[in-house]
Structures are given as C-alpha cells and as structure tokens.
Amino acid sequence: MDLNDPLDLGMACLRPGFPFPIDEDLWFIQADFFLGNKLNFHNNALIIKHEDTFIVVNMPHISKAAFGAIKKLADYEKAEVKYLLAPSDFNNKYVREWQKGFPGAVVCMVSSFALNRAKVLIKDSVTVLGMDQPEIKEAKESIQIYPILGITPKSEIAVYHKSSGTLFIADHLYPASNGGEELKPTVASFYIEPSISQISDKEPCNEIFNVTSDEQARDSFTNILKINCIKRLVFAHKSPAEGCIYMRDDIKEKLDGAYKMYVEF
C-alpha cells in the first residue's frame, strides 16, 4: 500500500461495512469474514449506480450503522437499492440480512443451489440468473456479467462495471501471497496446489475446494480475457492493505497467468 497515493490513503482509513468511493458511480465496501474465528478471509463488496438504481455486488455481514450509511448514500444519490447480487453459490451466508435491510430489492443468484439450501430466504424476492447468459436487464448498459469457473461443481460469475473498467472477482481468482505480483487460481483464499491440502494444522481443506477441469478453467479464463478495457480488479477476499483493489497497466498479463499451473494457453 502506497500512502502517497490518495486512493491507498483513503483505503487505509476504511470503516468496515461503510461505502467508500473508488470511481464515479462506484463504491467499495470492506468487511471481515472469519473462518473458525481465526482466519480472516474478508468479504468485500461493490455498490454500482445505474441511473436511479443501486446494485450491490456481494453481501457481506455489516453493522446496522453501515446499512444506514448505504441508505443515506442512496438518498443522496437519488437512487434506490434495487438489486442484491450474490456472485457465487458460496457468497450467500448473509443474504437474509440484506433482504431485511432492503426489503424491496431483488436478490439475484447464479443458480438454484443456494436457494434450495437457504430456507430463511424470502424466496419471492429471489431470481436465478442462470449460467448461460446471466444479466440484469435493467442495468445491462452499465454492467456485464461473465459466468466463470467456480468451486466445482458450483457456479460463479465475475461482474464488470463498464464505465470504470472495474472487474469484481469473488472466489476462484485471488492475489498471490507475495504481495499480489501475480495471481494464482485459488478458491476462498485456499491455494489449490498439490502440496497444500489443508488450511491449518487442525482444519483439513474440504475436497469441494478443487478446480478439477482444465477445459473449464481455460474456457472460463478465455471469457474474462475477452474484456479489453479492464482497468481495475476488485477482489472479494482480500484486505485493502494487502491489495484487494488493483489498478495496473499489466492487469491482463496477470489475469492471463492465473491458471498457468493448470493450463498452458
């Protein structure tokens, strides 16, 4: 983190759960998410404004005060939170909290997997995007949704904000541990390497955390690389200080290398 950079300096002062502007019509939300009370995965989100509509991409656990701040922001921007987008089958733990916070919003899920399991959801306000051509029709001029390989066999999407060139990535792409100089194919911050089979000495990694298809990985990444104007990457599961937001000229090169351990393009 470069504290001489205004964006980095602002990120260092983030209040968890509160929206922070990173571009026109675009706000970042940083939130913590602990696994087993000791591993902080972080669970970040974006708020995208399209005309009079707010679209929340990812739904982390945030405080009542943070919900209030989002509502005040919407009022100030003369907008309404109309869509709550869960970017993968695993990013849905706190959907019910967001439904309570914004009862008029439509929840968009990538498949019916979570819908069938989450009995507490208000299902009347849930729509399943599907993985063939997922889109939010009202906002298709502002955002593009790309189906990508997630935790096999679960579904996942990447969300691209066109005007700012921002790509939001949920689980399966993750900055490498060396400060983000390259990207490795990881799932929920687990590095999927043959030598790494557990997340701690006492907590073995579940077998579902695997990318098992080279072909799907290649096709998935080819889809992402078709985006010619990526200017910024935003990762759900990374702390701001460690680089959840990347703005670099060589982003495409870094994306291109993310699956190198699996697929030679």
Residue 3's pLDDT is what? 47
Region 28-54 average pLDDT: 86
How much of the chain exceeds pLDDT 90, in percent? 25
pLDDT of 187 over the 50 cut: no
φ, ψ for residue 18, nearest 5 deg: -95, 140
Of 39-48, 142-151, 188-197, 203-212, the one with minimum mean pLDDT is 188-197
Give the span between the Cα atoms of 259 and 265, in whole angstroms: 9
How would you class 72 by CB atoms within 10 Å of its CB: exposed for 0-12, middle for 13-18, buried for 19 or more? exposed
Residue 175's pLDDT is what? 35
What CATH class does 6-256 carry?
alpha beta
φ, ψ for residue 57, nearest 5 deg: -100, 110
pLDDT of 124 over the 50 cut: yes
Give the span between the Cα atoms of 59 and 86, in whole angstroms: 7
Confidence band, pLDDT 50/70/90 cuts, at residue 188:
very low
182 vs 158: which has the higher pLDDT = 158
Residue 258's pLDDT is what? 46
Give me the amino acid identity at 18.
F
Non-local (6+) Cβ contacts of 206 within 8 A are: none
pLDDT of 100 over the 80 cut: yes
CA distances from 171 to 117, 137, 202 (A): 20, 24, 23
pLDDT of 214 over the 50 cut: yes
229 vs 66: which has the higher pLDDT = 66
Residue located via tokens 């495409």: 252
Region 215-234 average pLDDT: 71
pLDDT of 53 over the 90 cut: yes
Of 31-40, 110-119, 127-136, the one with minimum mean pLDDT is 110-119
pLDDT of 54 over the 90 cut: yes
Of 12-16, 76-80, 116-120, 231-235, the one with minimum mean pLDDT is 116-120
Q: In this structure, are residues 171 and 237 in contact, taking their beta carbons and an 8 Å threshold?
A: yes
How would you class 208 by CB atoms within 10 Å of its CB: exposed for 0-12, middle for 13-18, buried for 19 or more? exposed
Confidence band, pLDDT 50/70/90 cuts, at residue 56:
very high
Best CA proximity match to 85, nearest among 123, 59, 122: 59
174 vs 38: which has the higher pLDDT = 38
CA distances from 150 to 13, 114, 154 (A): 32, 14, 6
